[in-house]
Structure 1
Amino acid sequence: MDRRTFFKRMLAFGVMAMATAGGIWKYKLDRKAGRTEPGLASTDEVGAPGDGAVAAIGNPNDASGALFSFMILSDLHINGGASEQSEKFRHTLDDMLAFESKIETIVITGDITESATERDYEEFRRILKRYNLPRMYANMGNHDYYNIWISKDGAWSKETMPNGKTDAGSREAFMKQFRLEKPYSEAVVNDYTILLLSQEAYVQEKPNVGEGAWYSDEQLAWLKDRLARRTDNKPVFVMIHQPLPPSGQDGGSHTLIRAKEFRSILKPYANVFVFSGHNHQDFNNGRAHYVKETFHWFQNSSVGRVMDVRYNPVPDNIAQGLYVQVFADKVVLRGREYVGRSWIKEAAWTVPLANR
């Protein structure tokens, strides 16, 4: 069974849930042959390059008055055996360096890699090595567990899964890359809190999770504790990878599994902003990328592979993400297209902050 056939069969289990949530997932993994940029030496450097080497990138004379400004990227799908996603990521970083406003941190909401191999992570580090960036933060997506599908000779092999690999090994690779003790983490930048949640198991450990995000009791208790520690009404930013199922339901494959408990934890608090990725949906496709619940939920697009409403890759060479600016009384969010260095008019929101 080839890789595409496998995914069509596996994803069929999540079709009804995804249709209800806003569309049918037909994710196609067209792994194009290609090579990374010649002349860039391999590096064994571990960790998140940047690590505060610079306080911000973009325009140091930003006159917007924003108290905190940052960029949210999702679904890079960096692939050590193909060049397309690497090129889009470079365009994204080049755009940010020349940005019209200030960017004080970069957050990646999962699927940093295509298959979580060492070659993929090495390509990620090779790209970042060329840039002086502020500290970068990330959580895990389902693809960051995909090393179990890769055989010893580097081929996709469902039949021999887990190919001598483990989900624990994928978590270790991710945590090593971003210098974390657990796959979920907290970042405080400019006195604003970012909480990054990660799925804690994949199909090698828990076959029933499929492509869904399973959070442990420990992680959900951690989330509850971090929110309870708030002493003001400043906005807090919660990063997940898979989207939420419809309200009142728990999720399954391709969604956040323990969604009812997740929503109940967030419910008592004002000014909570949730960001998900995974669906890769083009900001220009007319779908609702912002859903107002007791919190504000934004569904990001993708840097590595933007998709149309039928979950086919768009034909244009584009990479998309979200720029967030925090002001005293509001949060402004705008979709960015990095290759063309332009704003996406269909993705522009201003959310007033509540006083309670």
Structure 2
Amino acid sequence: MSRRAFIRWLLAIGAALVGLSAFFSQKVKNKFMQANQPAVSSIKPEPAQPVAQTTTEPLPTGPLMSYFILSDLHVSVGDPSTGKKLRQALDDIKQFDGPVDAIMLTGDLTDTGTERDYKELRTIVSEYKLPPVHANMGNHDYYTIWINKANSWDQAAVPNGKSDQMSREQFKKFFGYSQVYNDFTTKGHSILLLSQEAYVQEKPEVGEGAWYSDEQLAWFKERVQSLYQPGRPLFVMTHQPLPPNGADGGSHQLIRAIKFREILKPYKNVFVFCGHRHQDFQNGTPHYVQETFHFFHNASVGRTLNRAYQQEAKMKTQGIYVQVFADKVVVRGREFSNRTFLDEANWSIDLQKAQV
């Protein structure tokens, strides 16, 4: 073998040994790595569960909804002071330093229910740009049967060619309603307005009381169930007040009171407002009663009375301002004649939270 051939043979042998060494080195490396890697499980991991996060976000500080309740306007052509007082109330509301999402008129809108008194009411209201206005009927809104063609009180000639049906139709026409009881919702909060459905021309036994039909009470039950939202307030407007708990009422009261209370009993955070008593917020008469619901007696815009039901403070004209917050409802008495809130009528009611 020549020297050159011998050198080529040595190089070939070296290259083969290097390759073989690399091959065994890779095999050892793979074996080592496999031995040190964790075994791959055949069990699929559980999906990650959401973690409940606590929030420190504060409740809204401003009112969610606010409205005024004006009771017993008694607007009358024969008593100009009633129109003057309604204008005082509406002037205050128009310039009020706070939100007003609606106005509720809870009965005795006029003094006699006659066409001329409704015309006077329309004249006054049309002078103002107001938020939505809703109403129910009081006993005086049926009084047209006492009034003769000369617009004088004529008890001997009752019903003076009139009827309770005519009074209902006049009220519905004024507000554009299809029935005398209605509900209104704004900003997610609802108000139900119940109305006296008959007076002494049709039902002499009711006197000055509020009689509700089976149909109205069935409607009321369905609407409460439909509109109620746990944790939020629900508002109900009547005209006549309730009798003592456990009894039905008579003249000057809500007559079918046992059924009324039964409908509301399952629900929390219900607020009921009535008028009819005219009682001054500042005469010491209780205006708030807590039952299974919160029950408030409003004063009067047209004729505020003292404890003896006398119109002693002839200049007073009062109503209620309601504010709904996330965790409470604030109810405040308002004196419209001097545009002030009354310390004697200031309630803050905490809302019961919805059960999760």
- TM-score, normalized by length of structure 2? 0.81
Aligned with residue 348 of structure 1, among 346, 349, 353: 346
Could you say which residue in structure 2 is the equivalent of 1:54? none
User: Conserved in 2, the CA contact under 8 Å of 1:69 and 1:102?
Assistant: yes
Residues 79-98 of structure 1 mapped to structure 2, 5 A cutoff: 79-98=76-95
Which residue pairs with 2:111 in the alignment? 114
Letter of the 2:284 partner, please give it.
G
* AA of the residue aligned to 1:152: K
The answer (yes or no) to whether the contact 2:303–2:314 under 8 Å persists in 1 is no
User: Structure 1 stretch 77-86 or stretch 142-151: which is displaced more?
Assistant: 77-86
Q: Does 1:304 align with 2:329?
A: no
Q: CA deviation at 1:153?
A: 1.0
Question: What's the CA shift for 1:82?
Answer: 2.3
User: 2 CA distance for matches of 1:317 and 1:209?
Assistant: 32
Ranked by relative contact order (alpha carbons within 8 Å, sequence separation 6 or more), the top structure is 1
The match for 1:267 is 265
Residues 1:76 and 2:80 aligned together: no
Question: Which residue is equivalent to 1:235?
Answer: 233
Question: Is the contact between residue 304 and residue 313 of structure 2 (CA under 8 Å) also seen in structure 1?
Answer: no
Contact preservation (8 Å) 1:80, 1:121: no
Deviation at 1:64, TM superposition (A): 6.3
Q: Larger Cα Rg: Structure 1 or Structure 2?
A: 2
Alignment equivalent of 1:171, drawn from 165, 168, 185: 168
Aligned residues: 294
Q: Which residue of 1 aligns with 2:4?
A: none
Query: Which residue type is aligned with residue 339 of structure 1?
Result: S
Instruction: Give me the whole-angstrom Cα distance separating, in 1, the residues matched to 2:107 and 2:322.
Output: 18
Map 1:133-282; keep pairs closer than 5 Å: 133-230=130-227, 232-233=229-230, 234-282=232-280
Q: Judging changes above 3 Å, is the alpha-carbon distance between structure 1 residues 216 and 151 closer, same or farther for their aligned structure 2 residues?
A: same
Q: CA RMSD in A?
A: 1.1
Amino acid in structure 2 at the alignment position of 1:81 = G
Q: What stretches of structure 1 of length at least 5 have no aligned partner?
A: 1-62
Relative to the length of structure 1, the TM-score reads 0.81
Q: Distance in 1 between matches of 2:167 and 2:314?
A: 32
Task: Please state whether the residue corresponding to 1:229 is helix, strand or coil.
Answer: helix
- Distance in 2 separating the partners of 1:230 and 1:110: 23
Q: What is the distance in 1 between the residues matched to 2:277 and 2:218?
A: 27
Structure whose residues are more often helix by fraction: 2
Distance in 2 (CA, whole Å) between partners of 1:264 and 1:319 is: 34
Cα distance change on mapping 1:330 and 1:129 into 2, 3 Å: same
Contact 1:80-1:122 at 8 Å conserved across structures: no
Structure 2 unmatched ranges of 5 or more: 1-59
Shift of 1:231: 5.5
1:15-30 superposed matches below 5 A? none
CA-to-aligned-CA distance 1:69-114 (integer Å, 9 cap, x gap): 0000100000022210000000000011111211111001000000
C-alpha distance in 2 between matches for 1:282 and 1:342: 14
- Counterpart Cα distance in 2 of 1:275 and 1:341: 22
The farther-off stretch of 178-187 and 307-316 is 307-316
C-alpha contact 1:237 1:272 (8 A) present in aligned 2: yes
- CA distance in 2: counterparts of 1:140 and 1:311, whole angstroms: 21
